[in-house]
Amino acid sequence: MNGGVSMARWISPTVVTAAMILSGCSDSAVSPKPPPVPATLGISTPVPSASIAGSAVTPLPAVIVADSNGKPIAGITVVFSVKEGAGSATGLTQVTNSDGVASPGAWTLGPQVGVNAMTASVAALPPITFSVLGTAGAATRLNLVSGAGQQDTTHGVLPLQLTVRATDANSNPVAGVAIVFAFTQGSGVLSPASPTDSTGQSSVTLTLGDSAGTYVVQATSGTLTGSPIVFSAEASWPLYHASSIAMGLTHTCAITLAQQLNCWGDNQDGDLGDGTATPRLSPTVAGGGLHFTTVSTRGVFSCGLASGAAYCWGDNSQAGIGDGTSTTRYVPTPVAGGLSFTEIGAGDDHACALTAAGDAYCWGTSQLGAVGDGTNANFRTSPVAVAGGLKFTALAAGSGHSCGVATGGVAYCWGMNRNGELGDGTETDRNVPTPVAGGLAFVSLTAGFGETCGVTTSGDAYCWGYNQGGKLGVGDTTDRAAPTKVAGGHTFSQLAAGSAEVCGITTDGSLFCWGEDYATGSGSASDLSITAPKPVVAPPGVTFSSVTAGDVGGCALSTSSVAYCWGVNVGGEVGDGTKTYRPSLVPVIPR
């Protein structure tokens, strides 16, 4: 021991650490290695491009964080945030796992169709945005959009389309849904329906039918909630305005407020004056551009005045056109002679007109003296002066006779008198004007089929002649050969005699008719005789200014110039677009 080296002195006092061992036993200091630095933020798991709105996104978006060498880094904080679409999410702050990947806890798209976006952010790196298009789910409901509760006139096209929308559970529009539109009340026209478009909508256009009242259309689509959608629309009669109107055998003509000639009904012999033989069920322009002020018709031809000149059209087999021929005319044709008239009246087979000077002229069939020229010539194909040199203020042409009011209100009649229609107390035919018995002073006269009526200066109505169906209005059905006061005590401003009825306008604008019930517009459509004036039911608030009586029907103009008609309507003469019997007033339909 005394010669040896001390153990304590041999062993170095330096402590050997693990770091020294790892570094080759160096005794120098060791620096800790710095943590990896995130260099890139990339997409690990993409999201679907589209998904149903309101649904959970799957797979969830996932990002990967890596260093500059592309090596994934664990433990990096990633913040997720919903930026667009009003969706919801959980677990928005995450730490990358050992693979450098992080995802939110959950992401649910917003309920509405559209883009949804979520961003993923790591400090100091550009964020990444994930986008999903929220789409509509399956249709669950049918909704009303527009078109309910509209109003229009018959045959009108409703201004708003009938529109529905199909939506999903989140009220998003759904395309491609089949919709069926169908009438459940009324009858009109629906345009074809297509499946719902990109806005979820399907629409149709509704054209109303020819009847006034309520129309109902239902839109249905399977078992969708809200189906069927019910649309209702109210149709009213349209308004046709005229300044003059006249109904004949199976046709009617009128003058519009713009002085245009319109006619409708049967057109076999050019009755309508439109240049064709085509029947029309509603007003049709005629007259070739002439501007008419008045029109008259009774049988199968008509006449009117344009700038004072007389024109006639239709059947001319009885020379009623007055153009010097017996050729049927399909357009208004000038009456021969070049005379200027202030009033014109067409009968069944002849016509008469009045000049401003009060001179009366007639033409047409005159076997029984209806032309009044003192002869019984078969035909007068052009105007001849009425005999006697009388000055008239009003004229009327009937089925085989004519009448006029002379200066001072004295009534004269001429022509056939088999039923006492001349009112002279006899049944003798006359070929010259013959005074009407009774000494009454008249302001106007009207001549029908075997009867004549007039309004006196005091507004009283008198009738005489053929009394079938009670059309004299005197309370019975007995013929009268002299004027007899119409029952009821009404004061009239105008009368119109037809083949089966007589009608009148009272001074307060009320409309009355009498005669064979089915032709009077009374609405009952019976075969009874109405032997005294019976009120015709008018629309609320409507009063009348003039009336015309045809073969089995009539028309009236309201004080606001609206045309209403009624009658058997066999030729479409009522003008409502049909040939349906109309026992009550219906408006003429302009088309």
Q: Are residues 208 and 178 in contact, defined by beta-carbon separation less than 8 angstroms?
A: no
Q: What is the pLDDT of residue 525?
A: 86
- Is there a contact between 415 and 422 (Cβ–Cβ < 8 Å)? yes
Q: Which residue has the tokens 């029952």?
A: 487
Residues 6 or more apart whose Cβ sits within 8 Å of residue 274: 263, 267, 280, 284, 285, 286, 330, 331
Tokens of 586: 């219906």
pLDDT for residue 236: 87
State how far the Cα of 359 lies from the Cα of 390, in Å rounded to an integer: 7
Peptide bond into 587 cis (omega under 30): no
Report the amino acid identity of residue 589.
I
pLDDT score at 29:
54
Residue given tokens 């050992």 in the structure block? 98
Hey, which bits of 398-479 come out as E strands?
401-406, 411-415, 430-435, 442-447, 451-456, 461-465
Measured CA to CA, the distance from residue 418 to residue 530 in angstroms comes to 23
- Kindly report the pTM of this predicted structure: 0.71
Q: What is the DSSP letter of 11?
A: S
2 Cβ contact partners less than 8 Å away, ≥ 6 residues apart = none
Collapsing DSSP states into helix, strand and coil, what is residue 517? helix
| CB-facing half-sphere around the CA of 102: CA atoms within 13 A | 26
Residues 173, 113 contacting (CB under 8 angstroms)? yes
Sequence-distant (6+) residues with CB within 8 A of 361 are 337, 339, 341, 352, 353, 354, 355, 383, 384, 385, 386
- The CA distance from 371 to 384, in Å, is 8
Predicted confidence at residue 432, as pLDDT, reads: 98
The per-residue pLDDT string of the chain (591 residues; one tens digit each, 9 = 90 and over) reads 333 333 233 233 333 333 333 344 444 455 677 889 999 999 999 999 999 999 999 999 999 999 999 999 999 999 999 999 999 999 999 999 999 999 999 999 999 999 999 999 999 999 999 999 999 999 999 999 999 999 998 889 999 999 999 999 999 999 999 999 999 999 999 999 999 999 999 999 999 997 889 999 999 999 999 999 999 999 987 799 999 999 999 999 999 999 999 999 999 999 999 999 999 999 999 998 999 999 999 889 999 999 999 999 999 999 999 999 999 999 999 999 999 999 999 999 999 999 999 999 999 999 999 999 999 989 999 999 999 999 999 999 999 999 999 999 999 999 999 999 999 999 999 999 999 999 999 999 999 999 999 999 999 999 999 999 999 999 999 999 999 999 999 999 999 999 999 999 999 999 999 999 999 999 988 989 999 999 999 999 999 999 999 999 999 999 999 999 999 999 999 999 999 999 999 999 887
The one-letter amino acid code at 534 reads K
Q: How far apart are alpha carbons 159 and 161 in whole angstroms?
A: 7
Please report, to the nearest 10 degrees, the dihedral formed by the alpha carbons of residues 62, 68, 70, 72 taken in order.
-50
Going by the DSSP 8-state scheme, the letter that residue 241 receives in this structure is B
Residue 163 near residue 147, CB atoms below 8 Å: yes
| Angle 285-288-290 from CA coordinates, rounded to 5° | 100
